[in-house]
Amino acid sequence: MIGQTLEINGRQFTVVGTLEKKAQLLGGGGGNNDESNTIYMPFESAQRIKPNADDIFIVAVAKPGRLQQARDQVEDLLRVRRKVEFGKKNNFSTATADSIIDQFQSITAGVALAMVVISSIGLLIGGIGVMNIMLVSVTERTREIGIRKAIGAKQSDIMLQFLIEAGTLTGFGGVLGLAIGWALTLLIALVFPSYVPYWAPIAGFFASVGIGLIFGLFPAWKAARLDPIEALRYE
């Protein structure tokens, strides 16, 4: 509250103003990550409280269209204040909002690439598992396939049957995965703001069905190529 006295490191300070509450990064709150839990004071006063501070951040606001000029002026001033000799590297660093955004985007792009690689490996392993299951199913149903062919089923009918079974198998797995992901999103939303774009569940479902169709092609082809006479003799 305005007029309230605060004691910081044994020094008394009077509150002369307050700011509006800020939205928190990733929904966090409290502690050092709470952007509303901040005290503004004269720089000299802060230096007396923390004379051995390792990091000091200075924020400068440039006029529209003069960002690079303002950055050069700040850099020149800091080199003079910090007594950096001509020709030597800066003993400080500067960054603009654009550079911070670029760094954040490069990090998120790296994370997205890693997720794509990990997901691809998972899909490959899952697809191989589906193919093995369907091959076992073809072996166990050899006589059934022979009977169907004997009564007039075409190769395309046999292939379509096994492709539908493979797509249904992975489709149910996709629905189960979406349900788990949706539940986890609701739990995460209790702590951090999170959402799932509408296209993601649709793309995930069709991807899971597509994996079943792709890896089910070989078992379906093998079932369609079975000789009906040999299949009827199979025990």
Tens digit of pLDDT for each residue in 139-184? 888 888 888 888 888 989 999 999 999 999 999 999 999 999 889 8
Per-residue model confidence as pLDDT tens digits over 183-199:
988 888 888 777 788 88
Neighbours of 90 (CB within 10 A): 11
> Do the beta carbons of residue 130 and residue 209 sit within 8 Å?
no
Provide the pLDDT for residue 234.
66
The pair of structure tokens assigned to 31 is 């502690």
The low-confidence residues of the chain, meaning pLDDT below 70, are 22-36, 231, 233-235
Provide the pLDDT for residue 198.
85
Provide the pLDDT for residue 80.
87
The pair of structure tokens assigned to 101 is 């955004």
Provide the pLDDT for residue 165.
93
